[in-house]
Amino acid sequence: MTTAAVHITVHDLIMAYGSVVVQRDLNFTIQRGDIFIIMGGSGCGKSTLLKHLIGLQAPAQGDVWYEDRNFWAASPGEREAIKRRIGVLFQSGALLSSMTLAENVALPLETYTTLSPAQIRDIVAIKLALVGLSGFEGYLPNEISGGMKKRAGLARAMALDPDILFFDEPSAGLDPISSRLLDDLILELRESLGATVVIVTHELASIFAIGTNSVFLDADSKTMIAQGGPKHLLETTEDPKVRTFLTRGSLPQD
């Protein structure tokens, strides 16, 4: 079903809420080490697809393969094992407001490992340092900026050393400078950790700056209408919807 280079395979996926189909006939692969962009206009099902990939919502039909393991056909125990290889940064950061940054990052380690408190403190310090938040261990989420919340959420997503990182609109609510810094951080982490990254976003600057591959979901036809590197799609697509989406505002600079 897969080759060694393929990390995730989506096969004949249909997404629906009851009788209402959101997307159908989704077929694409995500290569190991990709920064893979899920893009499309509002209401096309980008975040719904993310939920199907990370195990929050079962598809109406079709399969999601992690290498040679069919996620939705696997046993509950096997699905849990796959999910522990996944880190997720939700749109808001989803930090627990009553817990410090260190406590937020420590939570998955306390929940899923048997590490000692001292070992967990050391790992938390390393993860926060990776995202540029050394010295902020004792801060509460409401005491830091939006960009810092995103980075703290990323540190928590990395706590269990995942193979794959998923991001839901990571630049949402950030100013252009903070957004670019987050893009740079994602690139650095992909290089240093060797992780595969999957990002739901409509932000053109991020799409062109970091995306190595992508899929474009269309709300009208309710299926994918393009796949490939964002810059390559910009140069080659003949689909007016894809071209309109990719040429909003300024075109990317080399």
What does the domain layout of the chain look like in residue ranges? 95-159
**Full-model pTM:** 0.88
Q: Is 129 helix (H, G, I), strand (E, B) or coil?
A: helix
Mean pLDDT of the chain: 90
Where does the pLDDT of residue 134 fall: very low under 50, low under 70, confident under 90, or very high at 90 and above?
Answer: very high
- The phi, psi pair for 147, rounded to 5°, reads -65, -40
pLDDT for residue 44: 93
Where does the pLDDT of residue 2 fall: very low under 50, low under 70, confident under 90, or very high at 90 and above?
Answer: very low
Instruction: Enumerate the H helices of the chain as residue ranges.
Output: 46-54, 76-83, 101-112, 117-130, 146-157, 176-193, 204-210, 230-236, 240-246
- Predicted confidence (pLDDT) at residue 254 exceeds the cutoff of 80: no
pLDDT for residue 92: 65
Q: d(Cα 226, Cα 216) in Å, to the nearest integer?
A: 5
Q: d(Cα 159, Cα 126) in Å, to the nearest integer?
A: 9
> Comparing 192 with 101, which gets the higher pLDDT?
101
> Comparing 127 with 91, which gets the higher pLDDT?
127
Q: d(Cα 144, Cα 99) in Å, to the nearest integer?
A: 13
Query: Region 83-107: what's the mean pLDDT?
Result: 88
Q: d(Cα 42, Cα 141) in Å, to the nearest integer?
A: 29
pLDDT for residue 170: 85
The HSE-up count of residue 96 (CA atoms within 13 Å, CB side) is 11
- Predicted confidence (pLDDT) at residue 173 exceeds the cutoff of 80: no
Where does the pLDDT of residue 5 fall: very low under 50, low under 70, confident under 90, or very high at 90 and above?
Answer: confident
Chain-centre distance for alpha carbon 69:
20
> Comparing 75 with 131, which gets the higher pLDDT?
75
The DSSP secondary structure of 198-250, one letter per residue, reads: EEE---HHHHHHH-SEEEEEETTTTEEEEES-HHHHHHH---HHHHHHHTSSS
Percentage of the chain modeled with pLDDT above 90: 69
pLDDT for residue 130: 86
Give the orientation angle of helix 117-130 with respect to helix 146-157, to 10 degrees.
130
pLDDT for residue 188: 87
- Predicted confidence (pLDDT) at residue 133 exceeds the cutoff of 80: yes
